[in-house]
A and B are shown apart, each in its own frame.
Chain A
């Protein structure tokens, strides 16, 4: 009897704090875990039973082209964004942390990095769309046709537009790595007789490489998962994976392919998770050095 009551108190002591987490965990279960599991399981189902039809559909030409273009879009904007973002970060790291230039660049990068979405698509339509301000200026003053055949609404346009949020994101995530560099390292290298170029190529580059590669991967995942800008810019066709998912969700369902959207979503999760895990490993490596 006494032990039973003791056990009850112990149980209550152990369980009572855990009960405080129940609302939060239940919420995440319903609105995050269940949807994810539904996608993972749904990709292998058709008409309620196990099937690989939808996974097979990923191997078809249309899906493979979309994946290829998605990788091309994310890869090119990740590399362009990483290089230009690192340059921009390098330009401001020379300024004092309290200087107006550095504060302005850091704050504005925070703003522009979040500027994806529908508004961004219209910003570029107003700039270099058919009757955009810059298009008009080039047409009337320089006699150059910027519009071309509507490249803004295809892959090249998406690359230009995505860089608008990729470069600032790079500034935000790469700046801490640059800030971690200590002036003592340069002094040490110079004392040992290193030239400026040697310090750059044999000290800075190896030190910053994991952080740079990690940030590039983060940018890749960011572009790969983006949807709104592309959806607002490209209203017809489905050149990249997110837009193919839109088509699979909204258009008439192809017979026997009711779960195509699930398979495409699974493909997307796999790519993003792999990239993010690599990112985590690289960042952990660079954290060892930088602070």
Chain B
């Protein structure tokens, strides 16, 4: 009896979560005003110039955000561990702060800062990188922190320093190779977040990124919007599932070593 209830409940959850995905597949392959199936909406993803530009901009943003986030965050976190352990709580607090301050609030207050950003860097969507680094900070921090905690940073750094390595070598050639799982996790979750980000892109000046284009197409062609939405959801799902794969492998290797 309990088994039946259990599986019935699990089935109900599965229906709620997977019906919308199947519905998107159905919706995006419909022929307008007729029966049968067509892949026109999916083909438009690679052909419509506004969409391809938006996809390109979102992918470029994802890469830039990951690079800037790593350049900014990873050396700081390593430095804090080696030289300034007293600052750990402060850095953690600052990194997790964006979880408490909604993105929408930052958008309202950041227009003055972005007037300068646009003055120096122009109006291409890539300038969103600066805001997105703040947005992905809490998630990246957690991923990197978990990885850094699993190795002995201080001993590694001292060993490298005593053999004559400079700080650059310590960070790039000694510590980073040891925290690859964390770096990959941080990169994956950042990419997934950036590809779906709409608040900044739409309110800061209607930059043509993928979510903005999807919302725009929703007003004219629903099928293209739905196809693009499903594509971006599946892409994010692959990234996030990959993330849990890395996380799982790390936990497993930790379990065997202890």
**Chain A residues proximal to chain B, CB less than 8 Å:** 17-18, 20-21, 23-25, 27-28, 30-32, 34-39, 42, 84, 87-88, 91, 94, 101, 103, 106-108, 110-112, 114-120, 122-127, 129, 131-134, 164, 167-168, 221, 224-225, 227-228, 231-232, 235, 242, 245-246, 249-250, 261-262, 265, 268-269, 272-273, 276
**CB distance A261 to B198 under 8 Å?**
no
Known A119-B233, A122-B214, A133-B22; 6 more pairs at CB < 8 Å = A31-B133, A36-B101, A225-B102, A228-B196, A242-B104, A276-B99
Q: How far is the CA of A127 from the CA of B17 in the complex (A)?
A: 11
Q: Output the least CB separation between B73 and chain A (Å).
A: 7
Interface flag for B131 (CB, 8 Å): yes
**CB distance A119 to B108 under 8 Å?**
no
Query: Which listed residue, B16, B80, B105, touches A36 by the CB 8 Å rule?
Result: B105
Q: How far is the CA of A261 from the CA of B75 in the complex (A)?
A: 37
Q: Report if A164-B20 is in contact (Cβ < 8 Å); known contacts: A20-B83, A24-B76.
A: yes
**CB distance B101 to A269 under 8 Å?**
yes
Q: How far is the CA of A18 from the CA of B19 in the complex (A)?
A: 53
**CB distance B229 to A265 under 8 Å?**
no
Q: Report if A119-B79 is in contact (Cβ < 8 Å); known contacts: A110-B244, A231-B198.
A: no
**CB distance A126 to B101 under 8 Å?**
no
Q: How far is the CA of A73 from the CA of B253 in the complex (A)?
A: 42
Query: Which listed residue, B73, B98, B104, B106, touches A24 by the CB 8 Å rule?
Result: B73
Q: How far is the CA of A35 from the CA of B6 in the complex (A)?
A: 48
**CB distance A227 to B198 under 8 Å?**
yes
Q: Report if A17-B79 is in contact (Cβ < 8 Å); known contacts: A36-B105, A123-B20, A227-B103.
A: yes
11 inter-chain pairs at a CB distance below 8 angstroms, sorted by A residue, are A21-B84, A34-B110, A111-B240, A114-B192, A119-B196, A125-B222, A133-B23, A235-B219, A246-B203, A265-B105, A276-B99
Complex A-B, nearest 6 residue pairs according to Cβ-Cβ distance, in ascending order: A35-B109, A225-B102, A126-B27, A133-B23, A228-B198, A119-B229
Nearest to B75 among chain A residues (CB) is: A20
Interface flag for B72 (CB, 8 Å): yes
Q: Mark B108-143, 1 if CB is under 8 A from A, else 0.
A: 111011000000000000000011011000000000
Interface flag for B159 (CB, 8 Å): no
Interface flag for B57 (CB, 8 Å): no
Residues of B within 8 A of A28 (CB): 94, 134
Interface flag for B154 (CB, 8 Å): no
**CB distance B72 to A27 under 8 Å?**
yes
Q: Report if A134-B23 is in contact (Cβ < 8 Å); known contacts: A106-B244, A122-B226, A227-B198.
A: yes
**CB distance B229 to A122 under 8 Å?**
yes
**CB distance B109 to A133 under 8 Å?**
no
Interface flag for B208 (CB, 8 Å): no
Q: How far is the CA of A168 from the CA of B18 in the complex (A)?
A: 13
Q: Output the least CB separation between B4 and chain A (Å).
A: 13
Residues of B within 8 A of A116 (CB): 196
Q: Output the least CB separation between B146 and chain A (Å).
A: 14
- How would you classify the secondary structure of chain A's contact residues: helix, strand, loop or mixed? helix
Residues of A within 8 A of B230 (CB): 119, 123
Q: How far is the CA of A111 from the CA of B94 in the complex (A)?
A: 26
Residues of B within 8 A of A228 (CB): 196-199, 211
Query: Which listed residue, B24, B27, B100, B104, touches A227 by the CB 8 Å rule?
Result: B104
**CB distance B109 to A38 under 8 Å?**
yes
Residues of B within 8 A of A36 (CB): 101, 105-106, 109
**CB distance A20 to B102 under 8 Å?**
no
**CB distance B229 to A118 under 8 Å?**
yes
Query: Which listed residue, A35, A110, A227, A249, touches B240 by the CB 8 Å rule?
Result: A110
Q: How far is the CA of A203 from the CA of B100 in the complex (A)?
A: 33
Interface flag for B202 (CB, 8 Å): yes
**CB distance B113 to A30 under 8 Å?**
yes
Q: How far is the CA of A249 from the CA of B205 in the complex (A)?
A: 11
**CB distance B211 to A88 under 8 Å?**
no
Query: Which listed residue, B27, B214, B237, touches A118 by the CB 8 Å rule?
Result: B214
**CB distance A261 to B233 under 8 Å?**
no
Q: Mark B139-176, 1 if CB is under 8 A from A, else 0.
A: 00000000000000000000000000000000000000
Residues of A within 8 A of B229 (CB): 118-120, 122-123, 126
Nearest to B84 among chain A residues (CB) is: A17
Q: How far is the CA of A230 from the CA of B211 in the complex (A)?
A: 13
Q: Report if A127-B20 is in contact (Cβ < 8 Å); known contacts: A21-B79, A272-B102.
A: yes
**CB distance A91 to B9 under 8 Å?**
yes
**CB distance A88 to B13 under 8 Å?**
yes
Nearest to A129 among chain B residues (CB) is: B222
